[in-house]
């Protein structure tokens, strides 16, 4: 069983699930074997009803689909569609936050006051909005309107791309991949991949980069910046994580998904004296709100809410038998949750009109009446405490303390208000480089193993790690987000971390918050007068699984950062596409992908790449 995870709490709950005759993602993966080889290579096409078609990878069968599309076209089209789906997911998240800011500014969402007025004014100024002599509501209303324009086509380019160095923006213009509008790029990608439109794999991949850039420098950036304005800009916060945060004598609630709009209100609603009294009347000592996946990241870094786990632990939280309600919004929520909840007493409560789940209770969330809806949902959880089946309860004791919440602003504060100390450390070699480690879990791979092994190798080599999403949660569970983890780092990085009292792995938020990493990279490049591609940086997604991760990888290399994937993408059916992504892209965009399943070998690639970039900058390798 240990091949399924390195996390002890996970292994205990997998065993309990077996005892309870509950099927988990790992069981369903086994049932899927052998998985479709055509799908793994990316050579199957179902874009029209002349198919589905597939290309014979061994050359003994068809080498084109019915329409004549070859492996290059089919693989590139499939990849572009995955990027478009991922970009759409992140960007629709951003649009939702923008709509809430708009409603707040109009006085229609009274439960969402502006929490960070300084950031509101800073972002508004970035958009060319006058802030002097105007009220917060006036500024917010104009900013929300301007941000919502980013999704259309009228402006011609996105505002946040101006954070990138001029060299990078000129390259995007030269290649014709400057993102023009978020919705425009997603829609055009779907148009191009319709039967009989764009059939050139290079052209399709370039559109993929443009669409992904509209995510990284558009939708994700909007989600991050406006969330900070509405909910507060994260500052370093301490907390605890893993399934051991669940409490045997309290009403346990899991907030799962990605958007903070409801979860932020739930955190405050759970402090309501009337609800707490109801919980006590039913025998509970309190209400314990915990996070899961990126909704968990959102509420942990702003409120220190305990974090129950990452992607592969969402089913296991229910298996503890101690969760009264799993409240979900959007993205990365397994459809299996209501079925598993049926084996216990847990209520799965969906809240988004975009994400409904057969078997779940749907309580539509309305930001115009947020607190009322939040209390209604919490009351359902409190009432369910009486239904808990004590004989089914088993909460693992495993839990770990962490330090999280390193927004760009918090990072600057830790450095004394300027990036200069970090840049000086890079120049001196105390910090050799910076790695952004992001992404999911994938049951095909041992949970958290690749994240942790890869990161430990990096910090040993004096590479500072910034992490988001489920990768960051893996680090939290293993103690890598504590200042004491610097003892595992090389002497240079250790000294820097000890001096600042920060961990060698900095938690920067949820998956949309990779935009924070882009902002820091751009700021360092601008300070040095170079392109992002010139910096000693790497990106990595050791255990990725979702289409959002495909978009992330594409915008990271599109921004000039070498990126290592730890799970194999479905592109190997086209030698040309695979070669373009892992080699040719470097000459075109200044960065490329590498695919390496062994995390130690992947770390060696990262260290080698960073050493090369340092030499190119005239720094000691």
Strands 433-437 and 251-257: what pairing? unpaired
Calculate mean pLDDT across residues 392-403: 97
Q: Cβ distance 362 to 290 under 8 Å? A: no
Q: Cβ distance 337 to 326 under 8 Å? A: yes
36 known member of a binding site: yes
Query: Domains along the chain?
Result: 71-231 (1.20.1270.30), 243-392 (3.40.50.2030), 412-616 (3.40.50.2030)
Rounded distance between C-alpha atoms, residue 47 and residue 85, angstroms: 15
191 known member of a binding site: no
Q: Which residue in 186, 177, 118 sits closest to 547, CA to CA?
A: 186
Q: Cβ distance 193 to 211 under 8 Å? A: no
Assign residue 238 a region: left if phi > 0, alpha if psi is -120 to 50, beta otherwise? beta
Evaluate if residue 620 carries a pLDDT over 90.
Answer: no
546 secondary structure, DSSP code: S
Evaluate if residue 621 carries a pLDDT over 90.
Answer: no
470 known member of a binding site: yes
293 known member of a binding site: no
Calculate mean pLDDT across residues 17-30: 98
* Secondary structure (DSSP) of 113-150: --S-HHHHHHHHHHTT---TT--HHHHHHHHHHHHHHT
**Each residue's pLDDT tens digit, 232-286:** 999 999 999 999 999 999 999 999 999 899 999 999 999 999 999 999 999 999 9
pLDDT of 155 reads 81
How high does pLDDT run on average in the chain? 96
241 known member of a binding site: no
Q: At which residue do the structure tokens 């025998």 appear?
A: 283
Evaluate if residue 1 carries a pLDDT over 70.
Answer: no
**Each residue's pLDDT tens digit, 435-448:** 999 999 999 999 99
Confidence of residue 156 (pLDDT cuts 50, 70, 90): confident
Cis upstream peptide for 137 (omega within 30°): no
Calculate mean pLDDT across residues 31-41: 96
Strands 433-437 and 537-541: what pairing? parallel
pLDDT of 564 reads 98
**Each residue's pLDDT tens digit, 453-463:** 999 999 999 99
pLDDT of 319 reads 98
Q: Cβ distance 372 to 474 under 8 Å? A: no
Rounded distance between C-alpha atoms, residue 18 and residue 13, angstroms: 8
Evaluate if residue 479 carries a pLDDT over 70.
Answer: yes
**Each residue's pLDDT tens digit, 500-541:** 999 999 999 999 999 999 999 999 999 999 999 999 999 999
67 known member of a binding site: yes
pLDDT of 367 reads 87
Calculate mean pLDDT across residues 82-93: 97
pLDDT of 59 reads 87
Confidence of residue 103 (pLDDT cuts 50, 70, 90): very high
CA atoms within 13 A on the CB side of 375: 12
Q: Cβ distance 550 to 211 under 8 Å? A: no
425 secondary structure, DSSP code: H
Rounded to the nearest angstrom, the gap between the alpha carbon of residue 346 and the centroid of all alpha carbons in its chain is: 26
Q: At which residue do the structure tokens 């995007």 appear?
A: 172
Structure tokens at 273: 């004296």
Structure tokens at 604: 């060696």
Which residues, at least 6 apart from 424, have a Cβ–Cβ distance to it below 8 Å?
Answer: none
Evaluate if residue 80 carries a pLDDT over 90.
Answer: yes
Structure tokens at 464: 């500072």
Q: At which residue do the structure tokens 């902002």 appear?
A: 519
pLDDT of 69 reads 97
497 known member of a binding site: no
Structure tokens at 340: 């598993």
């Amino acid at each position: 069983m240990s091949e399924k995870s390195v996390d002890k709490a996970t292994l205990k709950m997998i065993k309990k699930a077996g005892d309870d005759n509950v099927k988990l993602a790992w069981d369903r993966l086994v049932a899927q074997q052998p998985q479709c080889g055509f799908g793994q290579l990316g050579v199957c096409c179902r874009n029209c009803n002349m198919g589905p078609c597939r290309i014979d990878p061994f050359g003994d069968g068809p080498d084109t689909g019915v329409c004549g599309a070859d492996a290059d076209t089919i693989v590139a089209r499939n990849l572009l569609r995955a990027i478009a789906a991922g970009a759409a997911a992140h960007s629709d998240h951003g649009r939702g936050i923008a709509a809430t800011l708009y409603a707040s500014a109009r006085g229609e969402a009274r439960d969402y006051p502006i929490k960070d007025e300084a950031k509101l004014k800073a972002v508004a100024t970035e958009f060319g909005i006058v802030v002097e002599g105007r009220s917060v509501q006036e500024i917010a209303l104009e900013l929300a309107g301007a941000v919502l324009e980013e999704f259309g086509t009228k402006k011609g380019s996105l505002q946040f791309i101006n954070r990138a160095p001029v060299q990078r923006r000129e390259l995007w213009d030269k290649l014709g991949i400057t993102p023009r509008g978020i919705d425009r790029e997603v829609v055009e990608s779907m148009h191009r991949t319709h039967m009989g439109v764009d059939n050139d794999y290079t052209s399709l991949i370039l559109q993929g980069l443009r669409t992904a850039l509209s995510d990284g420098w558009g939708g994700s950036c909007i989600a991050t910046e406006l969330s900070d304005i509405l909910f507060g800009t994260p500052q370093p916060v301490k907390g605890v994580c893993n399934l051991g945060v669940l409490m045997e004598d309290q009403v346990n609630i899991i907030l799962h998904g990605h958007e903070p709009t409801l979860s932020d209100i739930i955190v405050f609603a759970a402090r309501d004296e009337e609800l707490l009294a109801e919980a006590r009347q039913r025998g509970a000592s309190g209400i314990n709100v915990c996070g899961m996946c990126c909704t968990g990241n959102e509420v942990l870094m702003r409120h220190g809410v305990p974090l129950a786990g990452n992607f592969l632990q969402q089913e296991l939280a229910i298996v503890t038998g101690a969760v009264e309600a799993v409240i979900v919004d959007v993205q990365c929520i397994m459809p299996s949750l209501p079925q598993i909840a049926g084996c216990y007493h847990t209520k799965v409560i969906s809240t988004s009109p975009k994400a409904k789940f057969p078997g779940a209770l749907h309580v539509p969330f309305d930001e115009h009446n947020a607190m009322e809806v939040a209390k209604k949902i919490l009351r359902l959880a409190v009432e369910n405490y009486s239904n808990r089946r004590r004989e089914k309860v088993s909460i693992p004791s495993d839990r770990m303390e962490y330090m999280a919440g390193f927004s760009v602003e918090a990072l600057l504060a830790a450095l004394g208000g300027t990036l200069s100390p970090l840049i000086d450390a890079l120049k001196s070699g105390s910090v050799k480089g910076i790695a952004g480690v992001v992404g999911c879990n994938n049951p095909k791979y041992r949970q958290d193993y690749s994240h942790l092994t890869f990161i430990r190798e990096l910090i040993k080599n004096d590479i500072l790690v910034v992490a988001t999403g489920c990768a960051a949660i893996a680090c939290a569970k293993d103690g890598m987000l504590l200042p004491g983890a610097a003892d595992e780092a090389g002497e240079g990085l250790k000294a820097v971390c000890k001096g600042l009292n920060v961990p060698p792995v900095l938690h920067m938020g949820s998956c949309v918050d990779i935009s924070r990493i882009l902002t820091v990279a751009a700021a360092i490049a601008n300070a040095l007068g170079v392109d992002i591609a010139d910096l000693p940086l790497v990106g990595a997604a050791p255990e990725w699984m979702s289409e959002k991760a495909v978009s992330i990888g594409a915008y990271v290399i599109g921004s000039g950062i070498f990126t290592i994937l730890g799970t194999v993408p479905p592109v190997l059916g086209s030698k040309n596409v695979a070669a373009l992504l892992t080699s040719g892209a470097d000459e075109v965009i200044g960065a490329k992908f590498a695919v390496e399943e062994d995390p130690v070998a992947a770390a060696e690639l990262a260290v080698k790449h960073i050493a090369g970039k340092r030499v190119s900058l005239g720094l000691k390798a």
